[in-house]
Structure 1
């Protein structure tokens, strides 16, 4: 699959870091570093603009290394970029640690996953089919 992209950053396009990686690492495109204080969030620009095919989305997900080593996540994880969005791809980072974290220009801040999705229509009804689980919700399949 090919996705048209405009790269207004000074960094390479997002790329897979290993042969079988699902996500492409995307980099911050910053005029100066951004310091995230504990529990602070910020939109991190990437300088990328995408033309995603209809029927697909790009999911923006946290990088496991940043999450594990520094407590850096994405507020609305996974974020979704819709096929009709033409603005700059920005990553909404949050610092969940008790230490400040400095986001540097060119730092890999998130990973992008391209995923197919369906468009549905609702079918109103009065009943749903029965299942063994039924209405069991949170924790209902745990130890009893």
Structure 2
């Protein structure tokens, strides 16, 4: 168990740090873009902006899945990266199919990755929700300004 923690916790911490970087970059660009665009931006511009936020958050999650898969390869759990990536994605998304299992020596890494994944999907969801709420606020403010006498 201790060996699993020694291998998994640093990867989890690295993934948490990396997702914080993705969130920071995403929000910085979102705010910068929002600052220069008109208050009554077109719907297509809002769709593009929200799509970019979603894609960046999803990219952050995909990169973390690949990092965990790399750890599994380094531990000689899988012969092919594609299998390690599939297993990692199942863990990260907390699907728990069980069609591919790790050896008993490293089995605890699955729940560690699942804990990492569920936390990161929550972070991604909160960033996307904040962006959607901001777009809604901008649209409501724009309507109120146009309706003032």
Q: Same fold (TM over 0.5)?
A: no
Select the structure of larger CA radius of gyration.
Answer: 2
Q: What's the TM-score, normalizing by structure 1?
A: 0.23
